[in-house]
Amino acid sequence: MNNILIHPSYFPSISHFIAISKADKVTFEMEDNFQKQTNRNRMQIYSPNGIQLLNIPVKHSNKPYQKIKDVRLETAFDWQKQHFKSLEAAYRASPFFEYFEDDIRPFFEKKYTFLMDLNLQSMELVSKCLRLEFDYDETTEYFHEIAEKKDFRNLINGKKDVTVIEPYTQVFGEKHGFINNLSILDLLFNEGRYAVEYLKKQEL
């Protein structure tokens, strides 16, 4: 059995879904502390100007450490609307944006309170679009090391994720070249129904 432990994240990197596509059982890490400047609350897309970071604003806590499952979203301004506009600018010309647009748009119109709920919903949405069904459970306590599962929690930190994937056609590839391991949405909008086959061919 190929059992993995991985973080839920905001439309996660392609490497996340490579790991999930090969797994028999997925366990989501729910008990760690929130860390800034990780993919817990941001994704990378391919904009007309190259890499663009889409960050989710979160409410700051007075505590030195805050569990990721307790992190609340900042609702003072409509970041969801801005994120969807950025996706439109980046992927309107891609082969499959219009095909998935009606599935994706409601996510950016629904209001969420907790970051974790939003992250789980984004991953469920992508799995439906990919037609990549997977069973998962959730951790109930935190362990630094695990023996019975493959630990892919490091993939949440983009700077430490050294995954190199096979190039595929990207909208602005002729302008900026191939950009490695962006959000899974980049692969979905560019490869559509071929994305799962692509994921299963990649190595971590």
Better pLDDT: 133 or 19: 19
pTM equals: 0.96
Which pLDDT value is given to residue 142? Answer: 95
* pLDDT for the residue numbered 62: 81
> Is the pLDDT at 91 greater than 80, yes or no?
yes
Domain residue limits at 128: 3-201
* Per-residue pLDDT at 47: 97
Domain count along the chain: 1
Mean pLDDT (whole number) for 165-175 = 97
Separation between Cα atoms, residue 99 and residue 83, nearest integer Å: 19
Q: Confidence class of residue 76 from pLDDT cuts 50, 70 and 90? A: confident
